[in-house]
Each structure stands twice: as C-alpha cells, then as structure tokens.
C-alpha cells in the first residue's frame, strides 16, 4: 500500500494533554457535519480473549522479532534494550515496547482547514468516517464501464467528499494515473488543499517528496510555516511489510514527516492466509505486533510524537488467494482490531466498507453496511477505506461516495444509541395523547424531536410504490448521479484563491495537468 500522510497535530500524551493550535483559523460556510458519536458497545472479543491476543503480540515481538530494521533504527532500539537473533532479526522485549506505549500520546487533534472541521482522535474518542485507498480505476456511472483513474477524478472525489455530511476526513482515494510519478505526490497534495476543508491524508512515493508537499501546503495556507500551525493533512506511513518486516522506505518517510511536524499514521495491512496467519486470531495477533512495532519506531525517532495507528486485518478468499473486503470475517476482524487498540489506549483507524462488488449494487450495499456498522459499533475512532470504493478498493466512484455517505448517516445514528431522560419518559404526554387525539403526530414533543432523534436519508427512497413508478422508477444509482452532478456544478467559495493556486501551479510545475481539471 502507498504511504499516506496525515497532517501534524498537537496531541495529548498520556501523562498530560495539550490542545491543538487554532492560530490562523478561517471560518467558511459549508455543509453541516454529523457529530461523531462514541462507540464501543460491541466487543467481539471477551476480556480474556483480548488479553490473550495482546500477550501473544508481545511474545511475537520478543521471540520472533522484526526483520529489515534500518541501521539508525536498529542502533537506537539496541541501545534501548533490543537484541539481535543469529539470523539478524531484531527482538523487541516487552519492557521496551511498554515504555514506548507509555510515551505514546493517547489523543491526537486533527485540524481541518477551518475550526468547524477539526477532529479529536483517541481518548477513546468518537467514531469518524473517512476515505482512503489507492484505486487505479474509476467507475463511470453513465456508461457502466471502467477506465484508468485520473487527476480530474481525484479533484471530483475530494469535492464530493467535502459536501458529504457523514464523512469526516479524506485520505486520497485514488491514484491519478495520468500524472508523471515524480509529480504524483504534489498533484495529490494540491487536490487535497484546494478541494476540501476537512482533514486529509496523502501518500509519499519517497522521503524526498515530503518537503515540497509541506511547502505547497504552506503556500495554500498563505505563509511559510502555516502548515505546522494548522497541519490539516496527515502522513500515513506504511512502516511494515507483513509478515514482521520493517519497511526501510517507510522509516525514511516517517523521519522526514516528523521533522516537518506531521502527525503520522502508521499502517499494518496483513492478509490472512497470505501475509498473516489463516486463523483470524493469529492474523490479529501478528497485525497487533506490527502495530506495536510502529509505536516503537515512532518512539525511537521522536518520543511522544503524535501518531495514529491504522490496523487493517485484510482477509483472503482461500479458494483463490485474492484479498476480499466484504466478508463476515473482514467485518469481525476490523471490529476486533478496534477493540484491541482501544484496550491499549492508542488512537487508531481500521478498515471497513471494502466491497468486492464492482458496481454500487445490492452486494456493495450489504457488504459495506455490515462491515462499517460493526467497526463503528466497536468504537473504531477512524473507519478508513470505508466510502466511495468498489472492486476490492481498486475502483473509485463519486456515486458510491454519496451512496455510502447516506448509509453512514444511518450507521452513525445507530452508534449514538437510545437516549433516555425524564423529558422523553413523560407520563403527562402519554395521558394527554390517549385522552385527546389518540396520536402523537402533532404533539409538541414529536415536532421537537423530529430532527434530533431521527436521521433522514438524502438518497434512500421512502416514497410509495405508486409514487416511485410515477417518478419514472429512478434507481439509487440514478439519484446518486444527480447528486454528484449537483455537487460538482454548484457555486462555492474557493478554498484557495485563484492567484495562490496559479502561483502554486507555476512553482511546482503543475500547470499542464492541473489546467486540465475542471474547476
């Protein structure tokens, strides 16, 4: 997977908490964002099972260890108590790992481009929904065909994301295949900076690209050093190559990103039966060990630096070896991953919403629905790869994005649960209704609760059969296509002014491809 970058934020360490800087905040009007609810009621692992997996993860690091540790990392860890096996693998003793955990912040503040869109990750904190991935194809809803994803598609996806009330952040969902590899990170950063006010994340091809990307963000924010004060884009760093090998290029990216003040999102994405054990328990334990190795890596570079840990226990179809995302195994594994990281007090993300369907159909709906719902109910603080993706995250679709946004509104409502108070359990209201009109439709309490207690779909159809037929039998995809068109054609205040965007294009050599993007 590519290395994605999350913006650097002031985090709270376990002993004391620090708030995120809000200097230079600019207020913008935009769509209302659904308040993230706190999950955690669903626990797929019993307490003793959770402890067993944590213990096994510590045993893996202490006896099997990690291969391919870059020399500076190996030297730092050896000085801290790690040791080498005869085959060169670096063994990480429990005390070393636990010390890094104690220094690891428990809360990360992720600012958006304005105050209304900032997120708090950890605590345990609320459930946030986000995009992510590296799709290489775009589904064309008008023709039902597929083509290589482009820079224009990336800009459109981020515009649509900005207008979705139930999506809280946006990691780059697709690769702009029409952009030269050496300019890919800069073009991605430009799209994120100019199309959405929500927290974002992007990947780095290499460590040398970190500085230019941060410089681009500074220009978009209007001043040198502005990004460090409002780090709205995070760096997701793939720090391991399962099974149990450090990724040297990931280490280099992490070092540079930390130096530039970015929040780091580490990532472990083993695939059961392929790069992690076939048993779900074994896969979870190995993945947790790899996440803990990321905690140790970040601690060796900069103790206490803000980090979010993305635990993505992918699943194989063992008949073919292919990665799948929509199975019940994937759903319960991601929920368990969230439970494990909540147990350890680590700010985290998990994968969910990955469908194996190639189009936004019934299969996509049910696979996305139960995987996102279980992760959210388990209290995942960031549910990643969860919206806008098809075909086992190889295909992106803005129509799927708005459909999934509608779905996530209902899921977040279910996480919020049932609110009980004397005001809603009022005998006087019942007495008045049964002795009066015999229904609650016109009662003041019903009108008061109409918006706060209930969530209404923006795309889901609740008309009668006759009304639906009379409207021409519109499908969900038809409604989603219209919604995407409305978003892309609407008038909106620019996030970055025209003079600044022109200056960015000129400085970083983005003109040719950027001007081909419809703005």
Q: Output the domain CATH number for residue 110.
A: 3.20.20.480
Is there a domain that residue 472 lies in? no
| Calpha distance 397→135 (Å, rounded) | 10
Quick one: pLDDT at residue 411? 97
| Calpha distance 65→247 (Å, rounded) | 14
Is there a domain that residue 462 lies in? no
- The stretches in the chain having pLDDT less than 70 are 1-31, 512-519
Quick one: pLDDT at residue 454? 94
Closest CA to 411 of 442, 440, 376: 376
> Strands 170-171 and 348-351: what pairing?
unpaired
Number of domains in the chain: 1
Quick one: pLDDT at residue 511? 82
Identify the domain containing residue 336 by its residue range.
3-8+104-416
Residue 174 is given by DSSP the state: B
Quick one: pLDDT at residue 512? 65
| Calpha distance 165→155 (Å, rounded) | 18
Q: How many CB atoms lie within 10 A of CB 318?
A: 12
User: How long is the chain?
Assistant: 519
Q: Give 66-71 contacts, CB < 8 A, sequence gap 24+.
A: 66/90, 66/92, 66/240, 66/244, 66/245, 66/246, 66/293, 67/244, 67/245, 67/246, 68/241, 68/245, 68/246, 68/247, 68/248, 69/246, 70/246, 70/248, 70/251, 70/252
Is there a domain that residue 461 lies in? no
Is there a domain that residue 352 lies in? yes
**Digit-coded pLDDT (tens) for 136-169:** 999 999 999 999 999 999 999 999 999 999 999 9
The answer to whether 211 touches 189, Cβ cutoff 8 Å, is: no
| Calpha distance 459→400 (Å, rounded) | 11
Statement: the pTM of the whole predicted model exceeds 0.75: yes
Is there a domain that residue 124 lies in? yes
Number of separate helices (H) and strands (E) present in the chain:
18, 22
Is there a domain that residue 267 lies in? yes
Strand partners, 390: 395
Is there a domain that residue 217 lies in? yes
| Calpha distance 372→153 (Å, rounded) | 24
CA dihedral 299→300→305→308, nearest 10 degrees, is -50
| Calpha distance 314→263 (Å, rounded) | 24
CA dihedral 19→24→25→26, nearest 10 degrees, is -170
Is there a domain that residue 488 lies in? no
Residue 378 is given by DSSP the state: T
| Calpha distance 58→36 (Å, rounded) | 32
């Amino acid at each position: 997977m590519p290395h994605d970058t999350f913006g650097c934020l002031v985090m709270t360490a376990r002993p004391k908490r620090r708030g995120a800087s809000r200097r230079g905040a600019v207020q913008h009007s935009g769509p209302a964002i659904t308040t993230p609810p706190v999950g955690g009621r669903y626990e797929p692992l019993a307490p003793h099972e959770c402890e067993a997996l944590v213990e096994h993860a510590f045993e893996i690091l202490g006896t099997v260890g990690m291969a391919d540790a870059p020399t500076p990392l190996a030297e730092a860890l050896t000085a801290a108590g790690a040791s080498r096996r005869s085959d060169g693998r670096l063994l990480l003793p429990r005390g070393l790992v636990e010390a890094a955990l104690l220094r690891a912040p428990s809360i990360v503040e992720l600012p958006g481009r304005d105050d209304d869109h900032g997120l708090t990750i950890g605590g345990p904190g609320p459930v946030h929904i986000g995009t992510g991935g590296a799709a290489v194809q775009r589904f064309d809803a008008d023709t039902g065909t597929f083509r290589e994803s482009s820079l224009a598609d990336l800009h459109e996806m981020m515009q649509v994301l900005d207008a979705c009330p139930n999506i809280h952040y946006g990691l780059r969902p697709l690769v702009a295949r029409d952009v030269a590899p050496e300019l890919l990170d800069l073009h991605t950063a430009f799209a994120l900076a100019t199309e959405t006010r929500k927290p974002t994340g992007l990947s780095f091809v290499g460590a040398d690209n970190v500085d230019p990307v941060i410089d681009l963000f500074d220009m978009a924010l209007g001043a040198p050093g502005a990004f460090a004060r409002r780090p709205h884009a995070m760096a997701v760093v793939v720090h391991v190559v399962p099974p149990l090998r450090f990724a040297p290029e990931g280490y280099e990216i992490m070092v540079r990103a930390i130096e530039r003040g970015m929040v780091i999102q580490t990532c472990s994405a083993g695939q059961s039966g392929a790069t992690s054990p076939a048993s779900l328990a074994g896969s979870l334990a190995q993945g947790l060990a790899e996440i803990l190795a990321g905690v140790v890596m970040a601690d060796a570079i900069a103790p206490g630096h803000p980090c979010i840990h993305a635990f993505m226990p992918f699943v194989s179809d063992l008949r073919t070896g292919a990665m799948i995302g929509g199975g019940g195994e994937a759903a319960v594994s991601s929920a368990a991953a969230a439970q494990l990281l909540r147990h350890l007090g680590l700010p985290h993300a998990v994968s969910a919403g990955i469908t194996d369907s190639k189009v936004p159909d019934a299969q996509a709906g049910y696979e996305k629905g139960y995987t996102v719902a279980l992760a959210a109910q388990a209290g995942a603080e960031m549910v990643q790869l969860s919206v806008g993706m098809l075909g086992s995250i190889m295909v992106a679709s803005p129509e799927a994005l708005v459909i999934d946004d509608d779905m996530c509104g209902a899921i977040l409502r279910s996480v919020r649960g049932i609110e009980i108070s004397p005001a809603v359990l009022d005998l006087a209201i019942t007495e008045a209704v049964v002795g009066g009109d015999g229904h609650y439709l016109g009662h003041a309490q019903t009108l008061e609760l109409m918006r706060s207690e209930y969530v209404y779909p923006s795309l889901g159809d609740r008309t009668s059969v006759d009304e639906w037929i009379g409207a021409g039998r519109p499908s969900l995809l038809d409604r989603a296509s219209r919604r995407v068109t409305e978003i892309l054609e609407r008038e909106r205040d620019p996030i970055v002014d025209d003079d600044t965007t022109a200056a960015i294009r000129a400085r970083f050599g983005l003109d040719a491809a950027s001007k081909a993007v419809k703005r």
